[in-house]
Structure 1
Amino acid sequence: MRDDYQPAPGRHETREQRADRRWAELLQEVRVAQTGVQILLAFLLTVAFTPRFEDLADPDRNIYVVTVLLGAAATGALIAPVSFHRIVFGHRLKPETVVWASRFTLVGLVLLLCTLISALLLILRVVISDQLAVWLVFGALVWFASCWFVPAVWVRRRTHRDR
Structure 2
Amino acid sequence: MQGLVEFVLSNFIFTLINLWIMYWVLKKFLFKPTTEYMEGRKKSIADSIQEAEMKNKEADESKAQYDMKLQDIKKERSQIIDEATKRAEKRGDEIIKAAEDEAEKVIERAMTEIQREKQKSLNEMKNEISQLAIAAATKVIEKDLDEGTHHKMIQQFIDEVGETKWQN
TM-score, with structure 2 as normaliser: 0.27
Q: Which has the higher helix share?
A: 2
State which structure, 1 or 2, has the greater radius of gyration over its C-alpha atoms. Answer: 2
Higher relative contact order (CA 8 A, sep 6+): 1
TM-score, with structure 1 as normaliser: 0.28
